[in-house]
Amino acid sequence: MSNISQHSPKARATDHAVRRYAERHLGVTVETEDDRVAVNLLRAKGVDLARIRARIADIGGVIMSTGRTSGDCIAFPEALRFRLVDGKVVTVMARIGAKPPLLATPAPAEPRKRSVLELGGAA
């Protein structure tokens, strides 16, 4: 995002937002309900939590730079939606309208029947 600089406002990133970013953008998941425990497990897996928090804080700051302390922002290149509430990014969601990845290669289409004109039979 080209409008983020070192002087831009920053939002606070909650543990839940960090966890969801790791899950939805990096694909790193942990099996626990507690967000604080999840963050510790992510750290143990070698995930760079400081970099994630800084990115989330920057994106939340984009909303804050408009004078609002709450709202949503879609961030690129992640294509994720960030929710800001009272100056804190509280969660990271998949972008609205995002299509799930194809799980299997689609079968090739059947060849269509050719008309008389396409076959060169009409004179």
- Report the predicted TM-score, pTM, of the whole model to 2 decimal places: 0.70
pLDDT at 90 over 80: yes
What CA–CA distance (Å, rounded) separates 52 from 74? 16
Mean pLDDT of the chain: 82
Which DSSP category does 19 fall into?
H
**Residue 61 confidence (pLDDT):** 84
Tokens 């709202």 found at:
71
- 39: phi then psi, degrees, rounded to nearest 5: -65, -40
What CA–CA distance (Å, rounded) separates 45 from 30? 9
Domain boundaries defined on the chain: 12-97
pLDDT at 106 over 80: no
pLDDT at 103 over 60: no
**Residue 59 confidence (pLDDT):** 86
Q: List, in order, residues 6 or more apart from 38 with CB less than 8 Å away.
A: 15, 19, 30, 32
